[in-house]
Amino acid sequence: MKSVDINCDMGESFGNFKIGNDEAIFPHITSCNIACGVHAGDPYHIERTIDLALSHKVQIGAHPGYPDLQGFGRRVIPISQDELSSFIKYQVAALQGMVASAGGALAYVKPHGALYNEIASNREVAETVYKAIKSIDPKLKIMGLAGSHVEEVLETVDMTYIPEAFADRRYEANGKLRSRSLPQAVIDDPSVAAEQVVSITNHGKTVTLDGIEVSLNAKSFCIHGDNPAAVDILKAIEALLQEQQIEKKHF
């Protein structure tokens, strides 16, 4: 039986600001990417999210990003590679420690937002981020954009690659995600998102808005926690996976 991992960006609320619908999402996912307090999240909400993940037996990953609270980590911040390395170590180490304090174990790291996209196109940034993560724990797996140079870079630093595709984002013909600055970059139709997951799982491909086929092979599929349709999308994915006899489980 084929299987897929379903992950979601979680723990992004901070202070009096609630982002996402974590409590409703957790029953439908197998892995969670928890914000590390730099692009979003704060210590209290991070800890509550870790507790929810453990109670739902959901695999935990760190979700470090650029220091950009105002931009929600979706802008590239021009900092030196040394400074970026320090920010990554700080975020991953903090989350790993908090997970351990709750009796769990950090399994992987998935960079967030603009940093995720920068890694997929900039080898220097990718190497800086991955070496920083490895210095904290070389056993951590790395989740990155399927079809990018991430796999090649991770081979050079001897770390495990988890190729990821997106259920609620459109793709361009070059295999990259459609920019959020363009219309229809985010999928909010549950049936369309579910079909994209199954198409990539069964056939290794999806279709752009222009009708061009894009080849993708992925082990994990992401739903964004701040997508208002997230819960409905997850339910649609579950239903279609069951219909197609595809098991949902973490990697």
User: What letter represents residue 224's amino acid?
Assistant: H
Question: CA-CA distance, 191 to 239, in Å (whole number)?
Answer: 10
Question: CA-CA distance, 195 to 98, in Å (whole number)?
Answer: 36
Mean pLDDT of 21-36: 97
Residues spanned by the domain of 58? 3-248
Strand segments (E) across 39-160: 59-63, 108-109, 141-145
CATH number of the domain where residue 206 is located: 3.20.20.370
pLDDT tens digits, residue range 181-203?
999 999 999 999 999 999 999 99
Q: Is the pLDDT of residue 93 over 90?
A: yes
Round the average pLDDT of the chain to a whole number and report it: 96
Question: CA-CA distance, 208 to 28, in Å (whole number)?
Answer: 26
pLDDT tens digits, residue range 57-77?
999 999 999 999 999 999 999
* Cβ(30)–Cβ(59) below 8 Å: yes
Instruction: Give the pLDDT of residue 8.
Output: 97
User: What letter represents residue 241's amino acid?
Assistant: L
pTM attached to this predicted model:
0.94
Instruction: Give the pLDDT of residue 52.
Output: 98
Looking up tokens 């700080």 gives 90
DSSP assigned state of 26: G
pLDDT tens digits, residue range 193-234?
999 999 999 999 999 999 999 999 999 999 998 889 999 999
- Helices (H) and strands (E) in the chain — how many of each? 8, 10
Q: How confident is the model at residue 175 (pLDDT cuts 50, 70, 90)?
A: confident
Number of domains observed in the structure of the chain: 1
